[in-house]
Structure 1
Amino acid sequence: MPVLVITGTGTEVGKTVTTAAVAAAAVAAGRSVAVLKAAQTGVGPAERGDADEVVRLAGAVTASELARYPEPLAPGTAARRAGLPPVHPHEVAETAAKLATEHELVLVEGAGGLLVRFDAAGGTLADAAGLLNAPVLVVASAGLGTLNATELTACELRSRGVELLGVVIGSWPAAPDLASRCNVADLPDVTGAPLLGALPAGAGALPPTDFRATAPDWLAPRLDGTWDGEAFRMREAP
């Protein structure tokens, strides 16, 4: 798995912090890691972007960003409004493939959900994953409404012949409600893919040294972690 594409079921589901956790766990396992942000929106030229946040939290990671646009919109829309060139799926794939020649793991983080458009032709992160023949990790929210969004994402990936590696809950609340607790068992059922981790709410606010030391505890062995999915399911079962 030299390249792993990380997408969310929407915005604000914990995608960047999850990317940082996957990077930190891989670094702790002794692997060289690069993170590629396909398109950064809502950030000015001198501001820190998502790739910078991954480096801050995960440590020794190579960060790369293809383009950034100032308005917090879908990349294709933001590029058009800013009068800047859009990002195309083939550029994402080519850059990730080059990084993969120099690193043992490349994490490609999308913007928003799987089908958010990069360009006027309708190119998406799903297209880039297909060009790379890379598996996709889906970051989902914990609570009510997540089953539909996550299943739709899984169905789209399978319709394209793209491997769904698994699902990570991007922010697990300290006091989960009934829907969240039920979703632990239901997410694998509706997606046909394993639950590969759950990050505690507020993980991104931890000091970087604590984040790096703890990140493997939040992720399954498939992601270089020690998280026990079955024990988590049994503990949180309603």
Structure 2
Amino acid sequence: MTVLVVTGTGTEIGKTVTTAALAAVAVRAGRSVAVLKPAQTGVAPGEPGDVDEVVRLAGDAVTPVELARFPEPLAPGTAAARAGLDPVRPAHVAEAAQKLAASHDLVLVEGAGGLLVHFDERGSTLADAARLLGAPVVVVAQAGLGTLNAVQLTAEALRARGLEQAGVVIGSWPAEPGLAERCNVGDLPGVAGAGLLGAVPAGAGGLEAADFRAGAGSWVGPELGGGWDAAEFARRTRPPEYR
């Protein structure tokens, strides 16, 4: 795949760190990688944004592109309107991603928040950009309570729009998972209608860059270029009644 869209089931769930892991794995495999952030919100001019964090973790071989930046931590459409700035449109995202794909082996398009967060006053979303690109979508999800509902809603929204879901990555897997997290490992593929593609350890974004790059391949599965084994992860983590 040339373009891969990365969305979340909400905010602060590990989407940027997951994107960095995907980029690090691809770079380590010798692929050229670009990361496209259509709309960065809640970050002042000159401050590092999500694409900067990806480069910090995955390495400066990654090409970072940010289409627009809005200062308030709001949905991109609302933030653009309040700032009196032009919003990002799905066509802008698709055009930028296609240009990057012409010179890179992999383009990762990282959304803001969830799949249906509005880009503009028309209600355009990341899903519209994914449709224009014909790109598969990786869903980054929480590990604990509430994630099954959010993942199923996202999966249904993808199917309703004829979009391909590549699978689910758990964005922040705790060092000591509780019963809910462990049960969710067995339930997530069913509600998503797609497989688990990885589990990024909680706190991975705080690792030294070299350690992050060395570990990234063990956090995502072969579909994403890594060596993470979904069946083995399920065997180790799920409660006995699921085995």
Normalising by structure 2, we get a TM-score of 0.97
Q: What are the equivalent positions in structure 2 for 1:126-137 lying under 5 Å apart?
A: 126-137=127-138
| Partner in structure 2 of residue 5 of structure 1 | 5
Q: What are the equivalent positions in structure 2 for 1:129-148 lying under 5 Å apart?
A: 129-148=130-149
Instruction: Kindly provide the amino acid, as one letter, of the partner of residue 219 in structure 1.
Output: V
Separation (CA, whole Å) in 1 of partners of 2:161 and 2:174: 33
For the aligned residues, what is the CA RMSD?
0.4
Q: Report Cα offsets for 1:9-68 as digits up to 9, x if no partner.
A: 000010000000000001111110000001000001110000000000001100000000
Separation (CA, whole Å) in 2 of partners of 1:23 and 1:116: 24
Aligned-residue sequence identity (percent) comes to 72
| Partner in structure 2 of residue 153 of structure 1 | 154
Q: Report Cα offsets for 1:138-187 as digits up to 9, x if no partner.
A: 00000000000000000100111100000000000011010100101100
Instruction: Kindly provide the amino acid, as one letter, of the partner of residue 144 in structure 1.
Output: L
| Partner in structure 2 of residue 209 of structure 1 | 210
| Partner in structure 1 of residue 193 of structure 2 | 192
Q: Report Cα offsets for 1:200-221 as digits up to 9, x if no partner.
A: 0000000001000110000001
| Partner in structure 2 of residue 220 of structure 1 | 221
Separation (CA, whole Å) in 1 of partners of 2:46 and 2:229: 40
Q: Report Cα offsets for 1:103-162 as digits up to 9, x if no partner.
A: 000000000000000000111000000000000000000000000000000010011110
Separation (CA, whole Å) in 1 of partners of 2:107 and 2:99: 10
Instruction: Kindly provide the amino acid, as one letter, of the partner of residue 64 in structure 2.
Output: A
Separation (CA, whole Å) in 2 of partners of 1:191 and 1:218: 19
- Aligned residue for 1:199, secondary structure, equals strand
User: Structure 1 residue runs of 4+, over 2 Å off?
Assistant: none
Q: Report Cα offsets for 1:82-118 as digits up to 9, x if no partner.
A: 0111000000000000000000000000000000000
Separation (CA, whole Å) in 2 of partners of 1:29 and 1:178: 36
Matched, 1:125 2:148: no
Instruction: Kindly provide the amino acid, as one letter, of the partner of residue 124 in structure 1.
Output: T
Separation (CA, whole Å) in 2 of partners of 1:75 and 1:140: 20
Separation (CA, whole Å) in 2 of partners of 1:222 and 1:27: 15
Separation (CA, whole Å) in 1 of partners of 2:118 and 2:93: 13
| Partner in structure 2 of residue 72 of structure 1 | 73
- Aligned residue for 1:129, secondary structure, equals helix
Separation (CA, whole Å) in 1 of partners of 2:193 and 2:157: 13
Matched, 1:114 2:91: no
**Any gaps of 5 or more consecutive residues in structure 2?**
none
| Partner in structure 2 of residue 180 of structure 1 | 181
Separation (CA, whole Å) in 2 of partners of 1:161 and 1:81: 32
How many residue pairs match? The answer is 238
- Aligned residue for 2:218, secondary structure, equals helix
| Partner in structure 1 of residue 52 of structure 2 | 52
Instruction: Kindly provide the amino acid, as one letter, of the partner of residue 72 in structure 1.
Output: P
